[in-house]
Copies of this chain bind each other. A is one copy, B any other.
């Protein structure tokens, strides 16, 4: 049956904390994405629209960096968004390597309508914690992220 792994106390604690971190993130993310089914958007597509909504037109490389995915991935996701008429590509005339991605009228309308729903879901999920607890959680998470690179 269960293969017992003999780790140190620190390892046990770290693995236990990590699994809880994973579950919490997965849980909130899962719920934050349920409403996307209605508009037939994938989480990745929503992520791109959200980034453009908040930051304005972006070069694909910047999108990839923001969303922590590869360039090839962005090519695919933007392709599908473009097919649906939600975003447009516009090559930079100064430096023709760059391609600016911006929301179309339709894309802007959609994400402008979707984001408040998204924000509300996140808010309700996080409200099992008090404001202080959320700040505390944020601080602890920030420390974990800082650990450099990646």
Chain A residues with a Cβ under 8 A of chain B: 1-3, 5, 7-8, 10-11, 13-18, 20-32, 53-57, 68, 112, 115-116, 119-120, 122-123, 125-129, 131, 133-138, 140-147, 150
Partner of A23, one of B16, B112, B125, B145: B145
Shortest CB–CB separation between residue A16 and chain B, in angstroms? 6
A5: chain B residues within 8 A (beta carbon): 53-54, 115-116, 119
Give the docked Cα–Cα distance between A70 and B76 (Å): 23
Give the docked Cα–Cα distance between A27 and B148 (Å): 9
Shortest CB–CB separation between residue A128 and chain B, in angstroms? 5
- Do A122 and B11 have beta carbons less than 8 Å apart? yes
Shortest CB–CB separation between residue A43 and chain B, in angstroms? 12
